[in-house]
Structure 1
Amino acid sequence: MRLDDLRGLRSAPTLAVADSKALMVELLKGMEACEWFTAGVMADSALAALQCLRQLERALGWPPLAPDPAVEAPEKIAGAVFLKANQHTGRFLVRPETGLGEGLLITGHNPGDPAAEDTWGPLPLDFFGP
């Protein structure tokens, strides 16, 4: 399996261990060319989305992002959500959203080399965890 196989999927597939390892190697290689990242998490709850974000941060050594104070606190949101995390601003927001599927999308940004930019996923919510 390759990262391109995930493009266009509504939800992340269940991955075999060997596929997860191969995708991780490919993902990290693609991410090397990027300066900063955004992540989108489609999940059935704010808690699941936050767990996915925190696993991603720990695995990649990113400083923890802070919730955007201008939007509703994640713990007050019931049901399916979309979490948007922005490493450049250091913030994330969670909004109620139904019908999206489930998974993690990562977008790499490099203003100096736009050809290096890409979006990868959807990856399973536990791709970087526990």
Structure 2
Amino acid sequence: MKQQEINFLSDLRKINSAPVLHENQKIKLLNELAPYLNKADWFTVGIMASSSMQAIIALKTMENRFNWTAMKLVTQVKENGPVFLKANQKTGDIHVRIEFGLGEGILLGCQYNEESKNADTLGPFPLNFFD
């Protein structure tokens, strides 16, 4: 896969599928991401992956890294195929559905309890970004 010119979180908004990142790009993006993570009251996570297992592993990695309470799988798929996983930290629910035509990656929604603050959706990050 061709290396993308990704230097800032805003560069990710221009693409539909997560890029391959060098370690120095990952570190730079994690540093830029830190203030968003610290300000948000809770998170939603959207994961586009080639399988349900791959998406769940990426989410569980995020739960471990950020010491989130484990969320529960409410809706899952029985067939194989590309999926979209939607996790809501506030409700603790995870829903997975088959979805064709998506890219691959993690979308992180930084949510706020105060309605006057707009949610920030960041990504797509590579599925292994939070390892």
CA distance in 1 between partners of 2:79 and 2:33 (Å): 31
**Relative contact order: is structure 1 or structure 2 higher (C-alpha 8 Å, sep ≥ 6)?**
1
TM-score by length of 2: 0.90
Q: Percent identity?
A: 40
- 1:62 pairs, out of 59, 63, 68, with 68
Confirm or deny: 8 A CA contact 1:6 1:121 kept in the other structure.
Answer: yes
For 1:74-89, list aligned pairs within 5 A: 74=77, 76-89=78-91
Q: Which amino acid aligns with 2:37?
A: M
- Cα deviation digits, residues 9-33 of structure 1 (max 9, x gap): 1100000100101111111211211
What CA distance in whole angstroms lies between the structure 2 residues aligned with 1:100 and 1:28? 27
Please name the residue that 2:34 is paired with: 28
Specify the alignment match of 1:52 in structure 2: 58
Quote how far apart the aligned CAs of 1:117 are. 2.6
Q: Deviations over 1:76-100 (max 9, x none)?
A: 2311000000000001010000111
The answer to whether the Cα contact below 8 Å between 1:86 and 1:92 also exists between their aligned partners in 2 is: yes
Indicate the RMSD between aligned Cα atoms, in angstroms. 1.3
Structure 1 residue 115: deviation in Å? 3.6
Aligned to 2:97: 95
Q: What does residue 122 of structure 2 align with?
A: 120
Question: Please, what TM-score do these two structures have when normalized by structure 1?
Answer: 0.90
Unpaired segments ≥5 residues, structure 2: 1-6
Q: Is 2:42 the counterpart of 1:14?
A: no
Structure 1's consecutive aligned runs of 4 or more residues displaced over 4 angstroms after TM superposition are none
Deviations along 1:37-85, one digit per CA (max 9) or x if unpaired, are 00000000001100100111111110111011xx3x34x2311000000
**Equivalent residues, number:** 125
